[in-house]
Amino acid sequence: MERTLIIIKPDAVQRGLIGEIITRFERRGLRIVGMKFMRIDRALAEKHYAEHKGKSFYESLLDYITSAPVVVMVLEGPNAVQIARNTIGATKPVEAAAGSIRGDFGLETGRNLVHGSDSLASSQREIALFFAAEELISWTRDVDRWILEKVE
């Protein structure tokens, strides 16, 4: 089982897409093990986007992610990182497949609705920024036997 961090970004929250986005991940078969509605402060945003420091879009990215509330969640499932990224779609909505979140709802890269960890290492670092270990709840759904070949 893998875990991945998802941020439903300010544009998606403002557009009323929280429920639709959560539904996409749940229908895919991923389990929510942690979730918060919050406002990301600048210090947390700087830690989260540290790898982009010095890039031309860094300051506007920080301004954007701190501009309004977000939903932060941890999803769990086999290959959760890649499955979540496929569900989200390509970073540039114009390149995202129809049926993906960005392909269905996004128009511009700077307003691409959702962040998803890009690797298992990133997911572990990012989850630790937003959640304490005791805030994450491992659990089994009754329906898991119909989604997973082997329920863990």
Catalytic residues: 115
Burial zone of 9 (CB within 10 Å; 0-12 exposed, 13-18 middle, 19+ buried): buried
Is the dihedral angle over the CA atoms 37, 18, 123, 117 positive or is it negative? Answer: negative
